[in-house]
Amino acid sequence: MFNRSKKEIAVLPAHESCTVAVIGLGYVGLPLAVEFGKKQVCLRTNKKLNRRVIGFDINKQRLADLSSGLDKTNETTKDQLEEASLLEFTSKKSTLKAADVYIVTVPTPIDSSKKPNLEPLMEASKTVGEAIKLKVNNKTDVIPVIIYESTVFPGATEEICVPIIEKESGLKINEGFVCGYSPERINPGDKDHRVTSILKVTSGSNQEALDWIDELYGSIIKAGTYRASNIKVAEAAKVIENTQRDLNIALVNELAMIFRILGIDTNDVIETAATKWNFIPFKPGLVGGHCISVDPYYLTYKSEQVGYHPQIVLAGRRINDGMSSWIVEQLVLEMATRKMIIGGAKVLVLGLAFKENCPDLRNTRVVNMITSLIKYGMTPTIVDPWVDSKEAYKSYGLDVYATPKKIQYQAIIIAVAHNQFCSINSNEWKELLDSNGILLDLKGIAPRDINVMRI
């Protein structure tokens, strides 16, 4: 299959000594590049691995930070970066021609109309296509392997990325290069589920590619691998993992709306129902970030392209997207019931990141809540010890503080369950609150002995 000419027989790269390029060094790409960049032995064969690893990114500031040992995403420590002695960082495209394996981990966001924005993925595919063209000009007989890890809709790798690589390189898939898709499942801020401790799904453009890609990940992933039957299956599996989670949260969010009218505490209901062996205790709340609140739109986009208009998936998205304003409405209703003055009320918002113990601000729905508070004439103060205040200002025009000012607020909203907020005790909460003030606990973390409003 890989014969290029009668004389020259091309082969896939040597596992132990190949050069791996990781394209896009964010939450996903960096931990992976660091793992490949450690001196280690293959987990499957026990053979010594001596790979060169090229970490490529277009963001020069990110590369400068990483070179000085700073990972602003907090996924990798200075020591871990130092341990990855085989890893080098670059923004020079020409360096990429030295690679045998290209792993693409660039963002796959949505645009303002919630359609997939594939520009970074297409740009990265162009970069890889150009690099492998230079390799071929160097007359190497090694077949390059290109693996996508970015979350996409089923079909994106073969229908969008592969044609770009073919056009740029002048090579044909499964002749001049092979391809695969291996989704990432890490969870930012989660120190238990790391890249090597999560089972890795692999897929390939043909059987040889699948075997090779599976061996590559198998050499470093302690949790092992799972061979998907083809690339589209692997792409679809990733996108439904997050779609299922989004819908499960949408269900409990809808239940929270019903129970609020009925005067029942949703978290108490969930805890009670969870005593049954097959009840899954999802919690109500905001759904932000670049995965759960984005990936379902990749699926629905593809679905609509092929003539099926999804109902349940989009209904879940609508409920979850509407939670921020619903929560603020509940607060306003409670304030009105307590005859509090809404205009000018000082509200302390605890947490801006899209999830706990992580600095990631992408698509955080707390921002929508803040916008609603401001529309009602309230004055929010935002505290988040995890986020970079400059980035928060740049992204959302919001001032963020690391600790609350010692004044009394008419309302406090616990929006994110950062460790620092979980450890606040009843007296400390009382000191921050006006005598008639409301502590709205969206995460169910505040002690129940003080009068807490929950959803």
Ligand X SMILES: NC(=O)c1ccc[n+]([C@@H]2O[C@H](COP(=O)([O-])OP(=O)(O)OC[C@H]3O[C@@H](n4cnc5c(N)ncnc54)[C@H](O)[C@@H]3O)[C@@H](O)[C@H]2O)c1
Catalytic residues: 291
Got the DSSP string for 401-416?
A: ESS--SS-EEEEEE-S
Got the DSSP string for 215-233?
A: HHHHTT-TT-EEE-SSHHH
Report if residue 26 touches ligand X, rule: CB under 6 A: yes
Residue 66 or 411 with smaller CB distance to ligand X: 66
For ligand X, which residue of 184, 235, 246, 384 counts as binding (CB under 6 A)? Answer: 184
Q: Which of 78-86, 137-145, 180-188, 327-335 is the region at the interface with ligand X (rule: CB under 6 A)?
A: 180-188
Residue 181 or 429 with smaller CB distance to ligand X: 181
In the region spanning residues 60 to 89, those forming contacts with ligand X, defined by CB under 6 A, are: 62
What CA–CA distance (Å, rounded) separates 398 from 382?
8
Q: Which of 116-124, 329-337, 395-403, 415-423 is the region at the interface with ligand X (rule: CB under 6 A)?
A: 116-124
Angle at 39 between CA 204 and CA 125, to 5 degrees: 35
Least distance to ligand X, CB of residue 104, Å: 8
For ligand X, which residue of 10, 12, 29, 84 counts as binding (CB under 6 A)? Answer: 29
With contact defined as beta carbons under 8 Å apart, do 185 and 176 qualify?
A: no
With contact defined as beta carbons under 8 Å apart, do 196 and 35 qualify?
A: yes
* Largest interatomic CA distance in the chain: 87
For ligand X, which residue of 144, 188, 284, 444 counts as binding (CB under 6 A)? Answer: 188
Report if residue 107 touches ligand X, rule: CB under 6 A: yes
Per the listing, tokens 């060169």 go with 52
What CA–CA distance (Å, rounded) separates 340 from 153?
48
Least distance to ligand X, CB of residue 8, Å: 31
Least distance to ligand X, CB of residue 43, Å: 22
Burial of residue 187, with CB atoms counted within 10 A of its CB: 0-12 exposed, 13-18 middle, 19 or more buried = middle
In the region spanning residues 124 to 163, those forming contacts with ligand X, defined by CB under 6 A, are: 124, 127, 149-151
Best CA proximity match to 353, nearest among 443, 222, 243: 443
Taking CA atoms, 424 is separated from 385, 436, 445, in Å, by: 14, 19, 9
What CA–CA distance (Å, rounded) separates 201 from 241?
12
Inter-axis angle of helices 312-321 and 295-305, nearest 10: 140
Q: Return the SS3 of 452.
A: strand
Least distance to ligand X, CB of residue 25, Å: 5
For ligand X, which residue of 83, 123, 158, 241 counts as binding (CB under 6 A)? Answer: 123
In the region spanning residues 30 to 59, those forming contacts with ligand X, defined by CB under 6 A, are: 56-59
Residue 184 or 441 with smaller CB distance to ligand X: 184
Q: String of b and e for 16-33 (b: at least 16 CB within 10 Å)? A: eebbbbbbbbbbbbbbbb
Residue 25 or 216 with smaller CB distance to ligand X: 25
Report if residue 106 touches ligand X, rule: CB under 6 A: yes
Nearest residue to ligand X, by Cβ distance, number only = 26
Residue 58 or 450 with smaller CB distance to ligand X: 58
Least distance to ligand X, CB of residue 439, Å: 30
Report if residue 23 touches ligand X, rule: CB under 6 A: yes
Report if residue 189 touches ligand X, rule: CB under 6 A: no
For ligand X, which residue of 18, 20, 25, 49 counts as binding (CB under 6 A)? Answer: 25
**Pairing relationship of beta strands 178-181 and 200-202 according to DSSP bridges:** unpaired
Least distance to ligand X, CB of residue 396, Å: 16
Least distance to ligand X, CB of residue 362, Å: 7
In the region spanning residues 264 to 303, those forming contacts with ligand X, defined by CB under 6 A, are: 290-291
Residue 107 or 316 with smaller CB distance to ligand X: 107
Least distance to ligand X, CB of residue 106, Å: 4
Other C-beta atoms within 10 Å of 155: how many?
15
Taking CA atoms, 157 is separated from 83, 104, 146, 205, 441, in Å, by: 33, 11, 10, 10, 42
Q: Which of 186-194, 321-329, 366-374, 436-444 is the region at the interface with ligand X (rule: CB under 6 A)?
A: 186-194
Report if residue 108 touches ligand X, rule: CB under 6 A: yes
Report if residue 28 touches ligand X, rule: CB under 6 A: yes
For ligand X, which residue of 19, 27, 231, 365 counts as binding (CB under 6 A)? Answer: 27
Q: What is the H or E stretch that residue 301 is in?
A: helix 295-305
Least distance to ligand X, CB of residue 93, Å: 9
What CA–CA distance (Å, rounded) separates 81 from 71?
9
What CA–CA distance (Å, rounded) separates 442 from 249?
13
Residue 143 or 291 with smaller CB distance to ligand X: 291
Contacts to ligand X by CB under 6 A: 23-29, 56-59, 62, 105-108, 120, 123-124, 127, 149-151, 184-188, 290-291
